[in-house]
Structure 1
Amino acid sequence: MPRSASGRDGIQTASTRGLLDTPGASGYAVATLDVSGLSGASGAATLQAVIRDVETVIARATDTGARLGAGKLLVEGQRMFLDALVKTNERTIGALVDADIETEATRLKALQAQRDLAAQALNIANAAPQAILTLFQS
Structure 2
Amino acid sequence: MSKIMTVGYVQSALQTLLFASDNLEETQKRTASGLAVASAADNAGYWSAATNMTSDQSVLGSIGDALNLGASKVDTTYQAVTSSIDILDEITGQLVTAYEEGTDRDALNGRIGSLKENLKSVLQAATFSGDNWLYNSDTTLGASKTIPSSFERSVSGAVSLNYLSVDTADTTLIDSADAGRGLLTAAVDANKLNPDGTTTPRNYYLIDMDSTIAAPGTEIAISDSTTSAELADMISVVGTLTDSLNRLASSLGTVSARIDQQNTFVKSLQDVLDKSVGRLVDADMEEESTKLAAYKTQQSLSVELLSMLNGHQQSARVLFS
* Alignment check: 8 A CA contact 2:175 2:185 kept: no
Gaps of 5+ in 1: 133-138
Contact 1:19 1:57 in 2 (8 A): yes
Q: How far does residue 19 in structure 1 lie from its aligned partner after superposition?
A: 2.7
Find the counterpart in structure 1 of residue 74 from structure 2: none
Q: Tell me how far apart the structure 1 counterparts of residues 206 and 267 of structure 2 sit (CA, whole Å).
A: 45
Question: Residue 20 of structure 1 contacts residue 29 of structure 1 at CA under 8 Å; is this kept in 2?
Answer: yes
Greater relative contact order (Cα < 8 A, sep 6+): 2
User: Residue by residue, what CA displacement relative to the aligned partner does 1:26-71 show, whole Å, maximum 9, x if unpaired?
Assistant: 30113431233333xxx51x43333332221111100000111121
How far did residue 92 of structure 1 move? 7.1
* More displaced 10-residue stretch of structure 1: 114-123 or 59-68: 114-123
Q: 1:122 and 2:303 equivalent?
A: no
Shift of 1:102: 3.2
Structure 1 counterpart SS, 2:204: coil
Unaligned runs of 5+ in 2: 1-138, 147-166, 191-202, 208-218, 317-321
Q: Which moved more, 1:7-16 or 1:23-32?
A: 7-16
User: After superposition, what is the alpha-carbon deviation per residue over 1:68-117, rounded to whole angstroms, capped at 9, x for unaligned?
Assistant: 11212222233344445555666777788874433432332232122122
- Measure how far apart 1:119 and its partner are: 1.7
Correspondent of 2:221 among 1, 26, 34: 34
SS at structure 1 position matched to 2:302: helix
Cross-structure match for 1:135: none
Q: 1:64 to 1:128 in 2, by over 3 A?
A: same
Q: Given the two structures, how large is their TM-score scaled by the length of structure 1?
A: 0.62
Structure 2 CA distance for partners of 1:8 and 1:56, relative to 1, 3 Å: closer
Write the mapping of 1:2-81 to structure 2, written as runs, cut at 5 A. Answer: 5-6=141-142, 12=168, 13=172, 15-16=175-176, 17=179, 18-26=182-190, 27-31=203-207, 32-36=219-223, 37-39=225-227, 43-44=228-229, 46-81=230-265
Aligned pairs for 1:84-103 within 5 A:
84-86=268-270, 99-103=283-287
Q: CA, structure 1 residues 38+57, in 2 after alignment: closer, same or farther (shift >3 Å)?
A: same
**For 2:281 and 2:290, how far apart are their aligned partners in 1?**
14
Counterpart residue type for residue 248 of structure 2: T
1:105 maps to which residue? 289
Count of residues in Structure 1 that have an aligned counterpart in Structure 2: 126
Decide whether aligned partners of structure 1 residues 28 and 62 sit closer, same or farther in structure 2, where only a CA change above 3 A counts. Answer: same
Q: SS at the partner of 2:186?
A: coil
Larger Rg: 1
Code of the residue aligned with 2:226 in structure 1: it is L
Q: Report the Cα offset of residue 24 of structure 1.
A: 0.2
Higher mean alpha-carbon deviation, 83-92 vs 51-60, is at: 83-92
CA RMSD of aligned residues (A): 3.8
Higher helix proportion, which one?
1
